[in-house]
């Protein structure tokens, strides 16, 4: 009875936050590149991908948070608990490759934003983005997770304003949006973009991270407190995914409404210029600010996730600076050698999509294990849907490889 009173004494809204940190992964610069490319090239054709990916992401993020709350273990720790050392190391290596692709998207996106805003060279912008991400991580280390959550949530709001504003300047036609909800493709390039959009929305590092965020914020709960935390987590995930989904949808709809058919929108810089021409310099400025906030927030969250993955799978803690350099250096090399940054962003999201099954399969398996989860193990319907998500993504990737090799 006393525990029930303590549970009710604390307003549920004060417990929100972990899902908003994880949601940053769903509005990173890779999303901007993939969604703007999809809208500019195919109009409203791939609207349905945004909806499907967001529904999948909501389920996946809730399962990850539930694992952390019920077991007191992050997903990387739980994977390590159930695998032998060679398997653990191999699992970490693929996760590290995915982390490098993640950082590539985020650092390159931040560099492009700084170029658009201040005309800084891309390499200089990449270095600044990396340094700022370290400063944001220092906030988490020194001030704690709640302060970090507030900073990241604030940046999420900046991102939302930056991209949603342009949607209201020129409203997309409702009939075309509704038609885009019908699942279909139009050639190999549309499948490539759909896979990139999926990789940009259901992010592997966010799947790993959320379990640790929920555990570190709320602890290993039991009884009435666990029941309450699971209810709050469902609301936390739903609200965060609603914000992230709205931002992703806005990116695609704005591109489909204003940029379709233009020949200069195959890069973020070109898309920014096209937005300026179509909607005015103020909207273009907000677009660039949203992109910058996206790059700064997502690269710090990605580095946070990478540290959690490395520590959980290798069972050893590494200095933050070393961990940051492991994934930052490849991104800076891409900028230094002059690879087309926007194309690199889209392809990085494809790499991410290949890492999704390695995160989803253990997650679904572990959260379905009654011996591990007890009465909070997944319902059979939830388990079936989880396996369906992993299977759909895997099939898309096989098709993508076939089309790429034979294209």
pLDDT of residue 165: 87
**Sign, CA torsion 304/305/306/311:** positive
pLDDT per residue as tens digits for the range 117-135: 999 999 999 999 988 988 8
pLDDT per residue as tens digits for the range 358-400: 899 999 999 999 999 999 999 999 999 989 888 887 777 677 6
More confident residue, 231 or 391: 231
- 68-77 exposure pattern, b = at least 16 Cβ within 10 A, e = fewer: bbbbebbbbb
pLDDT of residue 259: 85
**Sign, CA torsion 285/290/295/297:** positive
Alpha carbon of 179 to those of 48, 116, 186, 193, 194: distances in Å?
Answer: 9, 34, 14, 18, 17
- Sorted by where each begins, the domain ranges of the chain are 13-404
Specify whether the CB–CB gap between 284 and 276 falls below 8 A: yes
The CATH number of 13-404, from 1.20.1740.10, 3.20.20.30, 3.60.150.10, 3.50.50.60, is 1.20.1740.10
Q: What's the chain's Rg over C-alpha atoms? A: 20
Full DSSP string of 14-52: GG--HHHHHHGGGGSHHHHHHHHHHHHHHTTTTHHHHHH
Half-sphere exposure (Cβ direction) of 281: Cα atoms closer than 13 Å: 2
pLDDT band at 230 (very low <50, low <70, confident <90, very high): very high
- How far is residue 328's CA from residue 407's CA, in Å, rounded to a whole number? 32
- How far is residue 235's CA from residue 222's CA, in Å, rounded to a whole number? 19
pLDDT of residue 405: 58
Q: 49, 54, 25: which is closest to 246 by C-alpha?
A: 54
pLDDT of residue 401: 63
Q: 182, 196, 235: which is closest to 65 by C-alpha?
A: 235
């Amino acid at each position: 009875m006393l525990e029930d009173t303590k549970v009710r004494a604390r307003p549920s809204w004060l417990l929100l936050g972990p899902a908003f940190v994880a949601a940053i992964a769903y509005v990173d610069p890779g999303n901007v590149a993939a969604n703007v490319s999809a809208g500019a090239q195919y109009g409203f054709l791939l609207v349905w991908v945004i909806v499907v990916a967001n529904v999948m992401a909501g389920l996946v993020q809730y399962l990850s948070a539930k694992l952390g709350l019920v077991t007191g273990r992050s997903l990387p720790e739980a994977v390590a608990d159930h695998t032998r050392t060679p398997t653990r190391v191999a699992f970490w290596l693929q996760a590290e490759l995915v982390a490098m692709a993640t950082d590539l998207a985020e650092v390159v996106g931040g560099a492009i934003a700084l170029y658009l805003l201040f005309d800084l060279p891309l390499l200089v912008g990449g270095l600044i983005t990396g340094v700022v991400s370290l400063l944001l991580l220092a906030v988490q280390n020194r001030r704690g997770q709640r302060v970090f959550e507030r900073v990241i949530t604030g940046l999420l709001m900046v991102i939302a304003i930056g991209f949603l504003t342009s949607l209201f300047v020129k409203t997309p036609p409702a009939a075309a949006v509704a038609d885009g909800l019908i699942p279909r493709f139009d050639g190999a390039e549309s499948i490539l973009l759909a896979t990139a959009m999926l990789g940009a929305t259901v992010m592997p590092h966010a799947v790993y991270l959320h379990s640790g965020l929920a555990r570190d914020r709320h602890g290993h709960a039991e009884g009435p407190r666990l029941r309450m935390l699971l209810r709050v987590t469902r609301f936390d995930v739903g609200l965060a995914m609603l914000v992230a989904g709205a931002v992703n949808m806005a990116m695609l709809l704005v591109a489909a409404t204003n940029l379709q058919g233009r020949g200069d929108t195959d890069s973020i810089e070109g898309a920014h210029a096209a937005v300026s021409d179509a909607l005015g310099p103020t909207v273009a400025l907000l677009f660039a600010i949203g992109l910058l906030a996206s790059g700064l927030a997502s690269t710090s969250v990605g580095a946070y996730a990478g540290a959690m993955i490395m520590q959980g799978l290798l069972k050893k803690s590494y200095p933050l600076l070393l961990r940051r350099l492991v994934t930052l250096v490849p991104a800076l090399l891409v900028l230094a050698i002059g690879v087309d940054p926007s194309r690199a962003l889209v392809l990085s999201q494809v790499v991410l999509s290949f890492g999704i099954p390695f995160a989803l399969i253990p997650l679904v398996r572990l959260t379905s294990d009654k011996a591990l989860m007890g009465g909070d193990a997944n319902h059979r319907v939830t388990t079936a849907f989880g396996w369906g998500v992993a299977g759909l993504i895997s099939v898309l990737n096989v098709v993508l490889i076939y089309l790429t090799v034979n294209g």
